[in-house]
Amino acid sequence: MQLFRSKWDKVVNIVNIAILALFLIVELYPLYFTLIASISDPYQVSLNNVTLIPNGFSLESYKEVFSDQGIWIGYANSLFYAVTGTLINLAFTLSCAFCFARKPAFKGKGIVTGLLVFTMYFGGGLVPSYLLIRQMGLLDTRWVLILPGALSVYNMIIVRTFYQTTIPDALYESARIDGCTDIGMLLRITLPLSKPIIAVMTLFFAVGHWNSYFGALIYVTDVSKQPLQLVLRRILILDDVLSELSLGSFSAEAMKDMVQKQALAVSMKYAVIYVASLPLLIAYPFVQKHFVKGIMVGAVKG
């Protein structure tokens, strides 16, 4: 666009680029620093000798991360929750949206819509939910992280809008004339024609499951069922890294050993950040445009 050519506009342009460049650095540097800190020599990191390029090279921190049993259990659990949870989310959300998009509207649609939308703005709250889950005997089960959020009303509305705006009614009508049932239409017409929105929803749900921790914190105390985020909380927030670290002996040898261990503990934190985000980092470049598309669909007022 070469619409603006005056001197003043050129100044605005340069200032704009400069600010954006600065912004880019601010967004990128923390991610970059974490990466170089995780692969540098832990001792150099502890001396603040790492700023722009890695100092020394050591994968000791990653070795430490992978030797932590908890991380592996958490990883496996999180994969399970993300896969199962996403499948169940999809089943509920895609099918429910179909009911609301179908024409003619089913009897009671207005009331049901109202009841669903109401839950977006009002809820029983933390404590009544906890008591209910407890009463149902769902505490410390895997279901508790999958079932309560099975239907996402917000995403359901986005999917419904997609169905309504992209699939022509004539298709349904001709199918109905040919004797197709509602379930048949959902499976043979709606879903095959909705691949883009299914991709977007899969990503939304999977990221949501992978990143959530609070539900597990409240409902799952059994370590063998805890997701990765709780393991990360123990390492990154509660600082429970080197439990074997003892302050008992103060010989020079022990002190040196301790300093090194402490440095390693910090490096391990930097490493664990990348290990935990790995699935998303790998997927990110491929899915970036889908996320954007998903937001656009949601932006269409429905």
Partner 1 sequence: MSVQSRVKKSADNFLKYLIRDYQIYLILLPSLAVVFIFCYMPMYGVLIGFKDFKLKDGILGSAWVGFEHFGRFLTMGQFYKLVRNTFSISLYSFAVGFPLPIVLALMLNECQYPKFKKTVQMISYAPHFISTVVICGMVLLFTNRSGGMINNIIEAFGGERINFMIEPGWFQTIYVFSGLWQSIGFSSIIYIAALSGIDMQLIEASVLDGANRLQKIWHVDIPSILPTIIILMIFNAGSLLSVGHEKIYLLQNDLNMETSDVISTYVYRVGLVDAQFSYTTAIGLFNSLVNLVMLAVVNRTARALSGTSLW
Three-state DSSP state, 179: coil
Judged by beta carbon, residue 33 or residue 66, the one nearer partner 1 is 33
Q: How many residues does the chain have?
A: 302
CB neighbour burial string for 137-154, b if at least 16 within 10 angstroms, e if fewer: ebeebbebbbbebebbee
Judged by beta carbon, residue 110 or residue 285, the one nearer partner 1 is 285
Judged by beta carbon, residue 12 or residue 83, the one nearer partner 1 is 12
Q: What angle separates helix 252-299 from helix 153-166, to the nearest 10 degrees?
A: 40
Tell me which residue of 76, 9, 50 sits closest to 267, measured CA to CA.
Answer: 50
CB of residue 207 vs partner 1: minimum separation in angstroms?
6
Tell me which residue of 249, 200, 270 sits closest to 60, measured CA to CA.
Answer: 270
Residues 6+ apart with CB under 8 A from 92: 150, 151
Residue 166 to residue 128: CA distance in whole angstroms: 40
CB of residue 224 vs partner 1: minimum separation in angstroms?
19
Tokens of 71: 């991380």
CB of residue 121 vs partner 1: minimum separation in angstroms?
6
Judged by beta carbon, residue 83 or residue 154, the one nearer partner 1 is 154
Judged by beta carbon, residue 87 or residue 147, the one nearer partner 1 is 147
Judged by beta carbon, residue 80 or residue 213, the one nearer partner 1 is 213
Q: Cα Rg for the chain, rounded, in angstroms? A: 26
The residue with tokens 């390693």 is 264
Residue 289 to residue 293: CA distance in whole angstroms: 6
CB of residue 191 vs partner 1: minimum separation in angstroms?
12
Judged by beta carbon, residue 95 or residue 141, the one nearer partner 1 is 95
Eight-state DSSP code of residue 193: T
Tell me which residue of 186, 184, 219 sits closest to 93, measured CA to CA.
Answer: 186
Query: Do the beta carbons of residue 206 and residue 291 sit within 8 Å?
Result: no
CB of residue 229 vs partner 1: minimum separation in angstroms?
5
CB of residue 105 vs partner 1: minimum separation in angstroms?
9
CB of residue 37 vs partner 1: minimum separation in angstroms?
8
